[in-house]
Structure 1
């Protein structure tokens, strides 16, 4: 599937519990988590985009093993 100009991918946080989701921007200030049509696990349907700087965060464990 090709992304249209109207929808783009981002990271969004649930406004109620703070859970983060890969999301599509579907309108002005409207976001839908990818793969979760029913919204957040807590039941909320309100999401806020996360600062673009978060996308630079590595999910790998960088701790040194002794």
Structure 2
């Protein structure tokens, strides 16, 4: 559940199968995105900048690959 929500859901709320949920690990500071098959999922759009490019590559495990070679 969203720790920053103004109106949080009760943990006992039963979600329908077709609803996809995102969680946030406050200890690791990372989102947890596990979606069921056939779920319609919206994604955030990031401004194309060196900061976000590095963040997206690093968080998806590609930065190490880029440091070892010129391509993945």
Give yes or no for TM over 0.5.
no
TM-score, normalising length from structure 2?
0.24
Structure with the higher fraction of residues in strand conformation: 1
- Structure whose residues are more often helix by fraction: 2
TM-score (norm 1): 0.25
